[in-house]
Structure formats: C-alpha cells, structure tokens
Amino acid sequence: MSDLHYIEKGAGVPVVLLHGFPVDGRIWRGQLKELSKTNRVIVIDLPGFGKTPLDGAYTMDSLAVQVHGLLKEIGAEPCVLGGLSMGGYVALAFYQKFPTDIKGLILVDTRATGDTPEATANRNELIRQVHHRGPCAVVDAMMPKVVSDNTIAAEPETVTIVREMMEACTPAALEHALVALRDRVDRTELLPSIAEPVLIIVGECDTITPPAEARQMQQAIPRATLQIVPDAAHFSPIENPAFVNRAISDFLRQLNSR
C-alpha cells in the first residue's frame, strides 16, 4: 500500500495535482473545490509534506514512481497530471517514465531545466541554514518570493496559510527536498517529445520560475498553451484561484472534446 496521503473529490477523468516546495496539497484547495464539479480530482501530499510521512531520501524520479504506484492502486490512470514547481519537476519525470498513463499535463510555475551552479550554491546554503534554524530559514528565504505584492495586500489569509504550511515542515523534510531539487535532472530534451496537450501556467510576477522560462517551455512543447496569471507570483493556484481554475477548466473541456 502506498504511503502517500491524498484527498480526492468528484468523478470523471482523473486530474492529479502535485504541490510545490515547501508546502503541501492545501496549495490546491481552490482547484479541488472547483474542478471536482467536472472531474475526479486527486491532490497528493509528497513525502515529508502535509500528512505524508518522510521515508528517507528521494529523487524526482523516485517520487514519480511512488505517485504512479498510488495511481495504479486507486485506479486513477490514465490521468491529467498537474504539478506546481517541484510538483512540475515530478510531473515531467512521470511523463518520461509513464507517457501512456498521461492524457495531458498541467505545468504550473515550473521549469524543465536543472539547477544552475549558482542555484546549487544557494540550495547548499539553504540546507546549511535549515540545519541550524529549521523552517524559519526557508520561510525567510522564500516568503518574499512566493506570493505577489498584490496577494500580500489583498489576501492576508492566503499569506497566512502559505506561511503555516512552510512552518509546519520538519528540518528533515526540508533538507531531503532541497537535496532532491538540487540534484534533479534537466528535462529540456524531453519537451519536444511530449505528444499530449500541455497547459503551462505562470504568475505574471513569478521570479523563481519567470514567465520568460514558461514561454521557452511552450515553444519547445508541440501542443502547449500558455496562460499568464495576473496579480500572482510563484504560488499562482492559491493567489488567483479564479483565473487558474478557468484556465484548467478550459483545458480539460478541450481534452474531453477530443
């Protein structure tokens, strides 16, 4: 039996959603509510986050295998697989391993490239800080980047939830995730071979995985569309759920009509 904790709601073509770092499935709360009106939505907590226990070291590839195992167990493939940032890295690893189990991909605030030498150095420094200061180090480093100024001004409750998710992480969960993020494989060469429709979503103010990179992914994937989310930074699904839900619903409708 899979250790991965998940929530599911609704019926129809499965839509599986994977969260980013360092949050959990709650980042998709707006999508779970809305998209489950038309689809079977499955939101997974990756190891060490939310309600899924940490079970030692992992890679994006081993996470993809774990997610695949769960989906097989609960009869949820083929599916539309969506991932936010780190979840997007896992989604691309999943596609590379199990392309026939994918009906479409939703890549949100993410990228296909690996870490640059500078990003690797920053990860190593953050790992060192987490070791000494725990989740505060990650909150301090990431909070200013993951939500937009607009979200901070207009959606204080959203900011509180994001902060709570980050603060709930154990140092071990953060360290294992940072190592897996740092060591992930560059999947740029996979992009031209993705045969299924792909929806790319990015916050207009995302500085971690900026719109320019999203455009490059769109150009490299044969059947990709790009939606840029107003008033959002890196956690666009929780910052502007109405826009993101509309983009995903339109994508799912087009997939269903094929």
Among 14, 20, 48, 104, binds ligand MLT (CB under 6 A): 20
Handedness of CA 245, 248, 250, 253 (dihedral sign): negative
28 binds ligand MLT (CB under 6 A): no
Judged by beta carbon, residue 5 or residue 184, the one nearer ligand MLT is: 184
The DSSP code sequence of 95-111 is HHH-GGGEEEEEEES--
The site map against ligand MLT for 218-257 (x = CB under 6 A) is ----------------x-----------------------
Between CA 25 and CA 237 the distance in angstroms is 11
What is the end-to-end Cα distance of the chain in Å, rounded?
A: 34
> Could you give the angle at the alpha carbon of 209 between the alpha carbons of 54 and 234, nearest 5°?
70
- The distance of closest approach from Cβ of residue 235 to ligand MLT in the complex, given in angstroms and rounded to an integer, is 7
Helices 117-133 and 171-182: angle between axes, nearest 10 degrees: 170
Nearest to ligand MLT of 173, 252 (CB atom): 173
> Does residue 21 interact with ligand MLT by CB under 6 A?
yes
Least distance (Å) between residue 20 CB and ligand MLT = 3
Is 85 an interacting residue with respect to ligand MLT (CB under 6 A)? yes
- Nearest in space to 215 (alpha carbons), one of 204, 200, 193, 196: 200
Q: Which is nearer to ligand MLT, 103 or 111 (CB)?
A: 111
Answer yes or no whether residue 151 interacts with ligand MLT by CB under 6 A. Answer: no
**Which residues contact ligand MLT by CB under 6 A?**
20-21, 85-86, 181, 208, 234
